[in-house]
């Protein structure tokens, strides 16, 4: 088997936003670059919008997008299809915490003209024209729920997890045409393209909706694994079962459901979170071993009842500074975000945040930006000091935060 080099999760976003359509001349490249501005897209899961903010500094609002302009049409379809209706209601009453899930993940196209969005409750991926707000194309995923996505380094392909179908679809980002698909473990979640675009890593998290959360019942959660595939043929290259690696270091009570993950800049090391754990683990790719485990502080106010933790999460969100020296961790159920020194794995100040659900890196690489789903805002934390610098309000229940591009003078089809 050829050597596999994973990629740094933050680099996936960086590759997307820095890549524009292949120019034919240097003058074309300069013109296209000047016509775009870097921004952050914030997916407001419960109200079906995406806020667009500056990627650096004060994170000021730029515009807003309606990601469910076809809501009436989709609801009519669901109401006429009993099985779809059952799954729609199941999503609302389980992972949606009583709410519909209208936007999970999103990436802009290389030309900055559209944004591609996965919509869990509608079990699809859509491309939305940023100028008009109209839908360019729609791709219904297999099964009944769409989840996390990833974009290839050249910005031309988008991979989306179909979480009830143990499948990842890979689509042409411009047309929505399926280029390929591959099988995963139960409930595929995070997707990561390698830096050279040769491989896709998928993490499946199993059934996070049951109340069988005690370690004794871990075996009921399903087949959880990392699946690595060739990004051209979509054939499986490797499967990594973290259960074996955890057991090997005496962590038999740990869940093996890998949640958000981030790779070091040299792509040799994976840092990841698992269900129910307030901390992170370090995995060396070459030796295929977990090398370090760091338990982060508990919030005394956090319930010890695992069934109260949203979708089996404890900490959900991790990113890394561009130089690889710092990690940023969203302590979801412990209501804080913190910067962790990568060498020592010592955490910095615990910045109070309300159910932080994701962590990414600002456009200038100086800050970690977390979505506070419990406070409907996003917050920047300085990598150098580890302290909060600014918070800005967004829509209802922000989750995924992604860097992207829009036209320079764009303000959005919706009032912000």
Largest Cα separation within the chain, whole Å, is 63
Residue 2 lies in a domain: no
Range of the domain at 190: 9-407
Tokens of 211: 């109340």
3-state secondary structure of 277: coil
Residue with tokens 């995995």: 283
Query: Looking at residue 414, what is its pLDDT?
Result: 78
At residue 19, the pLDDT reads 34
Task: Look up the CATH number of the domain holding residue 365.
Answer: 2.130.10.10
Whether 1 maps to a domain, the answer reads no
Q: In this structure, is residue 271 part of a structural domain?
A: yes
- pLDDT score for 26: 45
Is residue 416 in some structural domain? no
Mean pLDDT by 10 residues, the chain (416 residues): 42 35 42 79 97 98 97 97 95 92 97 97 98 97 97 97 97 98 97 94 94 92 96 97 96 96 95 98 97 98 94 96 98 98 98 97 98 98 98 97 96 79
415, part of any domain: no
Tally the domains of the chain: 1
Please check whether residue 300 lies inside any domain of the structure: yes
User: What is the structure's pLDDT at 209?
Assistant: 86
Question: Which helix or strand (DSSP H or E) is residue 24 part of?
Answer: none
Domain assignment present for 144: yes
In a domain, residue 59? The reply is yes
pLDDT in tens, 162-216: 999 999 999 999 999 999 999 999 999 999 999 999 999 999 999 998 899 999 9
For the sheet containing 279-284, what is the strand order? 258-263, 269-274, 279-284, 289-295
Task: Please spell the DSSP secondary structure of 145-205, one letter per residue.
Answer: -EEEEEE-TTS-EEEEEETTTTEEEEEETTT--EEEEEE-SSSEEEEEE-TTSSEEEEEE-
């Amino acid at each position: 088997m050829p050597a596999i080099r994973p990629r740094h999760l933050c680099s996936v976003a960086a590759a997307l936003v820095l890549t524009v359509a292949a120019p034919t001349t240097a003058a074309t490249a300069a013109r296209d670059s000047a016509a775009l501005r870097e921004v952050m897209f914030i997916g407001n899961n419960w109200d079906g919008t995406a806020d667009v903010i500056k990627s650096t500094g004060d994170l000021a609002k730029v515009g807003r997008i309606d990601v469910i302009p076809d809501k009436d049409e989709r609801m009519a379809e669901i109401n006429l299809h009993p099985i779809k209706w059952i799954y729609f209601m199941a999503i609302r009453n389980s992972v949606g915490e009583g709410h519909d899930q209208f936007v999970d993940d999103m990436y802009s196209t290389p030309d900055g003209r559209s944004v591609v969005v996965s919509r869990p409750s509608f079990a699809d991926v859509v491309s939305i024209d940023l100028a008009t707000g109209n839908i360019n194309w729609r791709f219904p995923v297999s099964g009944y729920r769409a989840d996390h996505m990833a974009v290839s380094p050249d910005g031309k392909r988008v991979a989306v997890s179909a979480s009830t179908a143990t499948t990842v679809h890979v689509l042409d980002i411009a047309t929505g045409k399926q280029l390929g698909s591959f099988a995963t473990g139960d409930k595929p979640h995070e997707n990561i393209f390698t830096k050279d675009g040769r491989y896709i890593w998928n993490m499946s998290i199993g059934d996070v909706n049951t109340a069988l959360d005690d370690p004794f019942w871990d075996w009921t959660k399903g087949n959880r694994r990392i699946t690595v595939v060739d990004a051209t043929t979509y054939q499986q290259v490797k499967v990594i079962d973290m259960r074996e690696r955890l057991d090997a270091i005496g962590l038999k009570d740990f869940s093996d459901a890998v949640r958000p993950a981030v790779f070091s800049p040299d792509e040799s090391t994976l840092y990841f979170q698992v269900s129910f754990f307030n901390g992170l683990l370090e995995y060396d790719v070459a030796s295929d071993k977990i090398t370090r485990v760091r338990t982060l502080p508990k919030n005394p106010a956090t319930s010890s009842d695992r069934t109260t933790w949203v979708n089996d999460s404890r900490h959900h969100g991790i990113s890394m500074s561009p130089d690889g020296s710092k990690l940023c961790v969203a302590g979801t159920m412990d209501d804080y975000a913190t910067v962790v020194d990568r060498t020592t794995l010592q955490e910095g100040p615990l910045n109070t945040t309300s159910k932080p659900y994701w962590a990414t890196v600002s456009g200038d690489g100086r800050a970690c930006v977390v979505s506070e789903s419990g406070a409907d805002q996003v917050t920047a934390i300085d990598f150098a000091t580890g302290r909060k610098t600014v918070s800005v309000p967004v829509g209802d229940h922000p989750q995924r935060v992604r860097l992207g591009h829009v036209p320079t003078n764009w303000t959005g089809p919706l009032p912000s």
